[in-house]
Amino acid sequence: MSTCGKERPPSLLPRLPFPASGLAAVALLMAACAPLRAQDTWLGSYRIDLRANPTRLAADGLTPCRIQADVRRFDGTPAADGTQIVFGTDLGNVSLGQGGKSATLDTTIRGGSAVIFLTSDAAGTAAVTARVQDSRTTVRVSFLVPGSKGLGGQERPPRSMSISGKWVGYCVEAGAVEARGRSRITYGHLTIDAGDLAVLNIQTLQLHALGVVLQRDKAKVEAESICADLLKGEILVQRIAEGSVIRQRLSIQTLAPIDSDDPIPSGSFSADEVEGDTWFVGTTVRVFPNEKVVLRNASVYSGSEKVLSLPPYWILAMPGFTGASNSSMIGVNSEGGVAFDMPFFYQVTDTWTNSVRLQKGTTMAGVSAREGWSLALHNEYNGENGSLGYVTLAGIPRNDWGLAWHDNRTGLQSSQLFTDLSSPDHNSLFLNTMLYRTLPSHQFSFSTNFNRPTDVNPTYGATAQWLTYPRPLAGNKRLQYTLGTSLSLDHGSSDTSGGAALLLGNDVYSSLDLSPRSLGGKWSFDPRVENVFSWFSDRSNRNSLRTELALNGALGRTNPVRLTYSATLDSGDVATPGWQQELDLWMTAYHGRWSGYLNATHSLTTADQMATLSSDYRLTPTWRLGALYTAYNFGLGSFSDVDITLGRQFFGQELGLMWSRQTGRLSLSAVGLNRSF
């Protein structure tokens, strides 16, 4: 299978050295369905449900992402008040919302939950990890360049591509969908009728087909063969007219020719049959790019042998997808407990994915885990009007049932509205909203929160924030400054006694970024200064002046390193006035079969520290020997552990045995290949 003139990419997964049959096919099916999850979780003595709102925001150093951790013991009861929880991020800084930015921090759980805030002045994806003793969970937050289109409304491409025909199959090893004989492919308003063969690579999102008729609205094009690139939004067509071969580029949106000086290679149009041993064959395969593969009335084949029939809908998650799927239906914790989350889908469209789930000891969609068996109703939606979210009712018919609603939609004038509502046991209640709007020269946000943990007095508040985009200082483009201010109203959260304190606050923010200074070779020096002055209605005030110096570079060709020194001077009515200094080191390394990762933070003021060090060695292309060292030492307590894992790769997922020094136990582990900490 060619890729529009490029060499065929390597298969996503290795070929099986043996055919699947009987119970082995069931085991291979479970492995094939396991994705890399966006929440990297290890269940220990506690279960941590980590939620971020919003999950996409500006990298301006000021706009916060609110991250809430709901923590329960393995029996489902909330963690005791005062239990230590440690947060860390590999991009940006975390805080408790009252200054004191740091790459790591520790706090205590109250009412079964803890809340922190994440900010970043650098664009990228932040992996925020929460740890409670031997349990950990990671959630990811995307920071975009201020003013970028990803923060506002914009026309979206079709959500899925549907392929139907007499024989349509998805090959797990090759990461490709193939239709043999006559088939029909639909992509939004575009219809593609193929008379012979059609192959879609779900990784590159390129479709090859032979004997094709393209139709969109009133436009119609016939071609001998095509190569459609969904990412580029173009279709390469080849047809024969009057004995000559004609090749053209067409727009997917209109089927109109695209002017281009780039030649179209003749190899762009060859469509080869997919080679593989394990196939999901059904009446229709619907691919949601970068999300999931939906199989309709499918069966599992090993070679030419049918080994298993699947329910009417079966969903395979792609790496990073956290929505409903048949992936990761079984989990194991460090105590030897087994968790089940088995979905039965009854509707899957571009707009809705609805399911009934049979659960035991599992955490899903913001609803905390339960030890016994229960049912859950889970409805996901993605509307053409820009609405995106899910509604979950879990714990049926137990007396600790709970619900969750997460919604992201486009509002007036391209604003974005984020809503997160959860009641894990219908006794506690958490509601957070954020309205975000980007304008040509500045941005505006308005957020509200209401929190009522179990057996704790409720707190609520609202914050309005205005912030400019970076601007040249005195015409010097190497010096960029940002100005902002916020007005907040807070009830109860600043009163540790649980009283009804009502507090009005005002922040004035400024920052100065100096363009990175090259130190020669791959190394650069990036300085930054920011200041926040806060005033409150109880006549208190504080000022936080923060200087950050980042050294970025690489050791060798593929070993990036980032060393950051930060110094914060807190003054006014603060708990710990004076300088707070911190060092943060992040690096990855690769050499042959070996790879390593290090993320460490050390406070030069208080000696608080946290470190994560991993080392992996590939014994063979499918076998891995890994070691993970995790340690932290804060004022509230300390923890350290070493995990040794021997795992084997199956279909993009690793199954293996893990030994923990902390527990002294040997456990079954299921780990994604691109594991993050």
CA distances, 421 to each of 203, 258, 403, 406, 414 (Å): 34, 46, 8, 6, 23
Question: What is the distance in angstroms between the CA of the first residue and the CA of the last residue of the chain?
Answer: 36
- CATH code at 268? 2.60.450
Using an 8 Å Cβ cutoff, are 152 and 438 in contact? yes
Q: Which of 361, 353, 427, 428 is nearest to 392 (CA)?
A: 353
pLDDT at 143: 84
Q: Which of 480, 446, 505 is nearest to 99 (CA)?
A: 505
In a domain, 400, yes or no: no
In a domain, 568, yes or no: no
- The phi, psi pair for 412, rounded to 5°, reads -65, 140
Tell me the pLDDT tens digit for each residue of 321-363.
777 888 777 665 545 556 678 899 999 998 999 999 998 865 5
The C-alpha atoms of residue 43 and residue 614 are separated, in whole angstroms, by 18
The C-alpha atoms of residue 334 and residue 437 are separated, in whole angstroms, by 44
pLDDT at 5: 46
In a domain, 286, yes or no: yes
pLDDT at 135 over 90: no
In a domain, 285, yes or no: yes
Other CB atoms within 10 A of residue 90 CB: 21
Q: pTM of the full predicted structure?
A: 0.72
In a domain, 389, yes or no: no
pLDDT at 227 over 70: yes
Of the chain, the percentage scoring pLDDT greater than 90 comes to 35
pLDDT at 557 over 80: no
The C-alpha atoms of residue 647 and residue 655 are separated, in whole angstroms, by 5
In a domain, 246, yes or no: yes
End of a domain among 303, 336, 371? 303
Beta bridge partners of 338: 332
pLDDT at 8: 35
Burial code (b: 16+ CB inside 10 Å, e: under 16) for 382-394 equals beeebebbbbbbb
Cis peptide before 397 (omega within 30 of 0): yes
Residue 414: strand, helix, or coil: helix
Other CB atoms within 10 A of residue 218 CB: 6
End of a domain among 303, 319, 339? 303
Q: How many structural domains are present in the chain?
A: 2
In a domain, 357, yes or no: no
**Torsion angle (degrees, nearest 10) of CA 596, 601, 602, 607:** -110
The C-alpha atoms of residue 348 and residue 346 are separated, in whole angstroms, by 7
Structural domain span for residue 170? 160-303
Using an 8 Å Cβ cutoff, are 15 and 277 in contact? yes
pLDDT at 365 over 70: no
- The phi, psi pair for 326, rounded to 5°, reads -90, 15
Using an 8 Å Cβ cutoff, are 482 and 510 in contact? yes
Q: Which residue has the higher pLDDT, 367 or 384?
A: 384
| CA count, 13 A, side-chain hemisphere, 43 | 26
The token duo for 53 is 């709102």
Tell me the pLDDT tens digit for each residue of 250-295.
999 899 998 877 788 767 787 778 888 889 999 999 999 878 899 9
Longest dimension (CA), the chain: 87
The C-alpha atoms of residue 101 and residue 117 are separated, in whole angstroms, by 9
Residue 268: strand, helix, or coil: helix
Q: Which residue has the higher pLDDT, 525 or 327?
A: 525
pLDDT at 561: 92
What length does the chain have? 677
pLDDT at 98: 63
pLDDT at 371: 67
Using an 8 Å Cβ cutoff, are 481 and 523 in contact? no
pLDDT at 549: 93
End of a domain among 253, 286, 303? 303
| Nearby residues of 542 by Cβ (< 8 Å), 6 or more positions away | 99, 533, 534, 570, 571, 572, 573, 574
pLDDT at 199: 94
Other CB atoms within 10 A of residue 424 CB: 30
Burial code (b: 16+ CB inside 10 Å, e: under 16) for 513-548 equals beeeeeeeeeeeebebebebbbbbeeeeebbbebeb
In a domain, 657, yes or no: yes
